[in-house]
Chains A and B, each alone.
Chain A
Amino acid sequence: MNRTVDVLVVGAGPAGLALAARLAGAGAGRVEVLEREQDAGGVPRHCHHGGFGRPPRPWLRGPAYARQATEAAVGAGASVRTGVTATGWAGPLSLDTTSPAGLERITARAVVLATGARERPRSARLVPGSRPAGVLTTGELQQSVHLYGQSVGRRAVVVGAEPVGRHAVRTLRLAGADVVAVVTERPRGTTVRGIPLLTATTVSALRGRGRLSGVALHHADGRSGVLVCDTVVFTGDWIPDHELARRGGITLDPGTRGPCVDASFRTSAPGVFAVGNALHGVESAATAAAEGAAAAASVLAHLSGAAWPDAGPPLVVRAPLVWVTPNRVTGLAEQPLLLRSGEPLTGPVVTVGQDGRLLWRGRFPGRMSPSRSLRVPPGWTTLVDRGGGPVVVRAR
């Protein structure tokens, strides 16, 4: 069956829902959000900790935030359809979908990819050893405990000392597991009271047949050993869920591995936008939602016939920085740029330059953590030479 809508948003997480709410409220016509899960809301659905939403709104727990975001989109007039998977492209702005109601081909005037991100599992991290049960990511752990009430193990090790690792610890404890250690390859990490933090340590192998029996650890100083446990949770190390973007031939950014977008969330494919954690791995729900809301103006401009501009010079980073978004400076650039370092920096000085010309320079007080983005104000983007070379962001 073929259908036409005005805007088709793929993914009903914080970014997709915020965008849909804005667009529907602005009279963008038929705005349809496809969600492959049974419930809308995205990752917050299974984050039972607080801290969602922006002050002065009360800080909500994830599920309540997910419900509010969904209600806001539906209330504004968007159609949020759950249990519907976009399986591939049938044309530049047409997607094939599967749901219990059957197959559909939906063509839109604008398509928005809001497909989110996932944690890289053990296999993608190339952790050697056996393949026992009891090896999880935070996403699977949270769903197991909060959505399905499943039992997890008794003795757990958490890999990764970023904020998401703390949430994994909390969920494990709630499920009755004893968390015996948090392990991070970084020189420091956030400690959780009562749990040993093993820094500069990697998981060198998983042990156990059938069920996990332990993790072999290797410390940077050469020490090694085995920690007995029946559960290990690999946390963080987010990667955008970019399958649909790639299958559509949309250019990805090598740093973020998400679709390459300009400051107006336009991808390399005319009519296709991308927002939220599909662009950069995990940022807070509030950041993702802010991107979704900010993209509404660009989508509306496209619907009213604005030209799809030439992408302009790329925005690139140099080590130790690992990525920046947006990836092109074309566009309104009202949102701050997000900048991520691969290693901790103290009081970094960030510079932006093009063809040897300094466009912006700023010093950030305090520490820059690899698990948190710096926000670079966007004012300087008007100084970029549209015909010039790459715009390079450095930090030291």
Chain B
Amino acid sequence: MSVTTGGALPGGAYDVTVIGAGVVGSAIARELARLPLRTALVEACDDVGDGTSKANTAVLHTGFDAVPGTLESRLVREGQRRLAAYAADAGIPVEPLGALLVAWDEEQLGALAGLAEKAVRNGYRSARIIPAEEVRAREPELGPGVLGALDVPGESIICPWTTTLAYATQAVRAGTDLHLNCRVRSVTPGDPHLLGTSRGPLRTRHLVNAAGLYADEIDRLLGHGDFTVTPRRGQLIVFDELARGLVRHILLPVPGALGKGVLVTPTVYGNVMLGPTAEDLDDKTATGSTAEGLALLREKGRRILPALLEEEVTAVYAGLRAATGSEDYAIRAHPVQRYVSVGGIRSTGLTASMAIAAHVVALLADGGLPVTGARELEPVRMPNLGEAFPRPYRDARMIAADPEYGRIVCHCERVTRGEIRDALAGTVPPGSLDGLRRRTRARGGRCQGFHCGAAVRALFEEGRR
């Protein structure tokens, strides 16, 4: 078991290597960790979940609106069940808020019946259309003009950061080698395959491509070209925790002829999120927000929840979805090459991650990967970042046992020195202050470091020594 961040990679051939430690790659590594194999998880960034996964809209979907009959539909449905159970065991915060798809015009109102019927075809039977009065009673702060909504009670919010970290932590503890700062630049197919990485050569018999935005490029290195990833930028605005009282459900847009709208949703950290935009780009590194994007979000948000716009913004960011132009995941097995590519995983990938992992391991078995001797993994219990669950600063027993849990460092988010210390000593420690934020919420609040930034940085630098 090891996490490496630099230097040459271990010699000898791995049985299987997963490229990309996003939520999907980490889930696959975790699934593989159950098997008596030598497994590597390689990641170009300095942390797990540092690409598309960290900017997910953080909804644990029912899959009610997938395209019926697709692989995505099946894996989201199955993944939702698996992840909900796993989250409960691992301490990943989940809040079953339910979603409302609010109709603001006749076209959207007319679309609700079709969505309800589609939900049934996706195996989800609890969705129902509710009248405007009921919508208003359940969401009193909505702007004027609500005509009705589709109520989808099974939708939840989840912490995408803890999910990815839990998978990676469990994989590493079970023996997986996680190599960070390790970008795959070339693949020489063979037995074993030879990967040329930014940290030197790596040999592996079986290969999984979970490279997210770069999955098409890795795929080409193995001689395939059946999908192209077009980065689709989604800009998001996160509002202060003081806005949390304005909204009770996940407010999803009704898709229509004029394109998809934006969602307004609480986060498990107690914030409210508005977004995303959907802009097709060429640049896979264009994770910046734009003035136009933010103005558009604010305009749409003002219609949905007018009071939201009065609240302070704690974060503005953009993520890139790995869009392929297809209506389904692009998961392809190449058994002769002992290779599986996992492309086109969009925002539902968080929900589907565990089901994708099981699916991929079955595909690897078709390519000859020995999958016998599976064992149960040692359970993992993650530090809670969720506002709806007990946090150390409120826990008298934790503080009595260790006063560091009573020493609040980040005041906006109420993060204690004990939690920061634990994260720095974790199985997969953070590689940056942003990584520390995703593990603890430190510096993630309304002051963005005005009060605590220097103190948190001092702890981070001390902890890395």
Using A118-B450, A137-B450 as known contacts, say yes or no to A131 and B457 having CB atoms under 8 A apart: no
The yes or no answer to A122 lying at the interface (CB within 8 A) is yes
Contacts A36-B408, A85-B411 given: A118-B451 contact, CB under 8 Å?
A: yes
Query: Known contacts A98-B399, A128-B291: does B448 contact A144 (CB below 8 Å)?
Result: no
**Does A32 reach chain B (CB closer than 8 Å)?**
no
A123 touches B399 (CB 8 A): no
Which of chain A's residues 124-163 have a Cβ closer than 8 Å to chain B? Answer: 124, 126-131, 133, 136-137, 139-140, 143-144, 147-148, 150
Would you list which residues of chain A between 84 and 116 have a CB under 8 Å from chain B? 85, 87, 98-103
Pick the residue among B312, B317, B451 that contacts A124 (CB under 8 A): B312
Residue A230, interface by CB 8 Å: no
Contact partner of A143 (CB less than 8 A), chosen from B314, B407, B455, is B455
A128→B290 contact, CB < 8 A: yes
Count chain B CB atoms within 10 A of each CB in A85, A98, A118, A131 and give the residue with the most: A98
What is the CA–CA distance of A147 and B453 in the complex, to the nearest angstrom?
Answer: 12
Known contacts A121-B448, A126-B316, A128-B288, A136 near B453 by CB under 8 Å: yes
Known: A85-B408, A100-B403, A128-B288. A139 touches B448 (CB 8 A): no
B404 interface contact, C-beta 8 A: yes
**A124 and B406 contact, CB distance less than 8 A:** no
A179 CA / B242 CA spacing, docked (Å): 36
Residues of chain B whose beta carbon lies under 8 Å from any beta carbon of chain A: 238, 242, 285, 287-291, 293-294, 312-317, 393-394, 396, 399-400, 403-404, 406-408, 411-412, 414, 432-434, 446-451, 453-455, 457-458, 461
Most buried by A among B404, B406, B414, B433: B406
Q: Are A98 and B408 in contact (CB under 8 A)?
A: yes
> Given contacts A124-B313, A128-B294, could you give 12 more A-B pairs where the C-beta distance is less than 8 Å?
A83-B407, A87-B414, A100-B399, A100-B404, A100-B406, A103-B399, A118-B447, A131-B434, A136-B453, A137-B450, A140-B450, A207-B288
Contact of B242 among A122, A139, A246 (CB under 8 A): A246
> Are A102 and B406 in touch, CB under 8 angstroms?
yes
Instruction: Collect the chain A residues with CB atoms within 8 Å of residue B406's CB.
Output: 98-103
Q: How far is the CA of A70 from the CA of B405 in the complex (A)?
A: 26
CB-CB under 8 A from B314, the residues of chain A are 123-124
3 closest residue pairs by CB, A with B: A121-B448, A100-B403, A143-B454
- Residues in A with CB closer than 8 Å to B291 are 128, 204-205
Q: Contacts A87-B394, A144-B454 given; indicate if A129 touches B449 (C-beta within 8 A).
A: no
Would you call the interface of chain A mostly helix, strand, loop, or mixed? mixed
A123 touches B290 (CB 8 A): no
Q: List 26 A-B contacts (CB under 8 A).
A: A36-B408, A85-B393, A87-B414, A98-B393, A98-B408, A100-B399, A101-B406, A102-B406, A103-B394, A118-B447, A120-B312, A121-B448, A123-B238, A123-B448, A124-B312, A128-B316, A137-B447, A139-B451, A139-B453, A144-B457, A148-B454, A148-B457, A204-B291, A206-B288, A209-B287, A239-B312
Q: What is the minimal beta-carbon distance from A164 to any residue of chain B, in angstroms?
A: 12
Residues of B within 8 Å of A205, CB to CB, are: 288, 290-291
User: Which residues of A are interface residues toward B (Cβ below 8 A)?
Assistant: 36-37, 83, 85, 87, 98-103, 118-124, 126-131, 133, 136-137, 139-140, 143-144, 147-148, 150, 204-207, 209, 239, 241, 243, 246-247
| Shortest Cβ distance from A142 into B: residue | B454
B164 to chain A, nearest CB (A): 18
Nearest Cβ in chain B — how far from A248, in angstroms? Answer: 12
**CA–CA, A205 and B433, complex, Å:** 21
Q: Is the CB of A102 within 8 A of B293?
A: no
Q: How far is the CA of A139 from the CA of B294 in the complex (A)?
A: 26
Which residues of A lie under 8 Å from residue B411 when comparing CB positions?
Answer: 36, 85
Q: Which residue of B lies closest to A129 (CB)?
A: B288
Partner of A137, one of B238, B242, B448: B448
Name the A residues within 8 Å of B294 (CB-CB).
126, 128
Contact at B450–A129, with CB atoms within 8 Å?
Answer: no
Q: Is A140 a contact partner of B454 (Cβ separation < 8 A)?
A: yes
A102-B406, A148-B457, A209-B285 given as contacts; is B313 within 8 A of A140 (CB)?
A: no
